[in-house]
Amino acid sequence: MEKGRAYLVGAGPGDIQLITVKGMEAIKKAQVILYDRLANPKLLDYAPADCELIYCGKLPDRHVLRQEMINDLLVEKVLEGKIVVRLKGGDPGVFGRVGEEAAALAVNGLSFDIVPGITSGISAPLYAGVPVTHREFGESFAVVTAHDKSENGQPKLNWKGLAIGIDTIAFYMGISNLPYISENLIKHGKPADTPVILIQWGTFSRQQTLEGTLSNIAAKAKEVNFTNPAITLVGNIVSLRKKLNWFEKKPLFGKQILLARTGTDESELAKELMESGADVIEFPKWKKVSVPADQAVIDRIPEYEKILFTSPESVGEFFDILFSEGIDIRRVKADFYGCSTKSVKALNEKGFFAEVDVKMSQAGKLLIVGDSDTAYKYPHVEMFVTSKKVIDEQFTPIFKRILDESSVNTIVLPSSRSVKTMIEEGVLKEIIPQQLLKTAKVVCMGVKTAETAGEYGIATGKVLEVPDKTAVVDCLANKESELAFV
């Protein structure tokens, strides 16, 4: 059997747009992904539908998979001839143990690429408005682990060198050791009034910060129960935050949104919400599966005078099915139409002239091409079903983990069908907590959506008369509009 290849990929600090192009390309072709807790699970949406997803996450108090087991699993999957992505939060070479995983592959003679990522020690401060270097605040920067494998977890560092020789220091995962860190830096020469900022979940909308000095930051953190994952940044450069704090000023910063999803395509609404500073959890994850070709419809292909494609995907699926069934495209005599400009463009790219459906005449025998989800819209018209949309159950445990670590404060319901799906596939299956429907603010995109929500007992806080993505962002960003929430 031909050997596979591994890609040891840095997923970046959390914001999915911070992954590298090379890292995203690896995800898109992966057959297996072994992913960590700190790698944003939303990146898994870009994996192929048949990709095997394996959680290797570690929590402070327990390990799901020991490092040795991860190494063995990585080797095993590559030996099976598969393209394997090891997806790690931040940069795999910065406290990411990539050296151990690469060594395990190398000793077995297996091929691998290491794909750097943006490390949280640099990105989290930037999202908090603090560059880690600046000409006016010194010329040195260090990244330091804030705990080690010793019994008490307190790292043995060159404290004097750090205190005197380094202007700005980023400690990783150091909240539990804050008293120890502060005490040693002060003891070895760092002024007690040196500014410190703690940044939890940096680059996410749920990012939290806490500022202080070496003399008081430990007490402040204890008072508010500040926890990991967090970066502790020490240095006078922290004072720049007052001028440069940009991310937390985004209109939807702090919004953690559950967005009900009805399609397999990447949501334009989700993109808009994230661009405005929100964290977005899209539920559920859909995938398309093939269905047996309707031979009776295939036999009548030459008889149709008009063929209407309901989506860009249906265009490719239709022609793939014809080719697999041995049907020469020249047997198709119909004029082509699309339900959207994207569908028309997909036809154009296949070499066909096409029009949008509003320009289609009423006369002539019509065939509608689309997935099983669109069939109900055309009950009295002949339908060529190209695929079936089903929920990808592999993502169920992923959603549960995301919801456990998030504090969803907003639910957006784009349509009546999205309401039905969220309740039947999420709440009733105990993936989405029932309580969330009572504690989160609910935005319905349209009156019919609100009516359906009411039928399921959901108290709708805001109904948008103009149900588009701009209206959703404006509604959530406008503090006055929040008064309209129930």
Q: Which residues are catalytic?
A: 36, 58, 173
Residue 122 burial (C-beta neighbours within 10 Å; 0-12, 13-18, 19+): buried
Signed CA dihedral, 279, 416, 475, 427: sign only: negative
Distances from the Cα of 135 to the Cα of 138, 188, 264, 413, angstroms: 6, 25, 48, 48
CB 252 within 8 Å of CB 195:
no
Q: Which two tokens stand for residue 169?
A: 């220091």
Q: How many CB atoms lie within 10 A of CB 207?
A: 23
SS (H, E, C) 382-446: CEEECEEEEECHHHHHHHHHHHHHCCCCEEEECCHHHHHHHHHHHHCCCCCCCCHHHHCEEEECC
Distances from the Cα of 313 to the Cα of 69, 239, 371, 421, angstroms: 40, 51, 9, 22
Cα–Cα distance for residue pair 128/423, rounded to 1 Å: 37
Residue in 40, 73, 49 with CA at minimum distance from that of residue 206: 40
Signed CA dihedral, 169, 172, 178, 184: sign only: negative
Residue in 481, 411, 425 with CA at minimum distance from that of residue 453: 411
Q: How many CB atoms lie within 10 A of CB 381?
A: 11
Phi and psi for 361 in degrees, rounded to 5? -75, 160
Residue 6 burial (C-beta neighbours within 10 Å; 0-12, 13-18, 19+): buried
Place of tokens 């005449």: 361
CB 83 within 8 Å of CB 31:
yes
Residue in 60, 51, 54, 2 with CA at minimum distance from that of residue 28: 51
**Paired strand residues for 172:** 145, 231
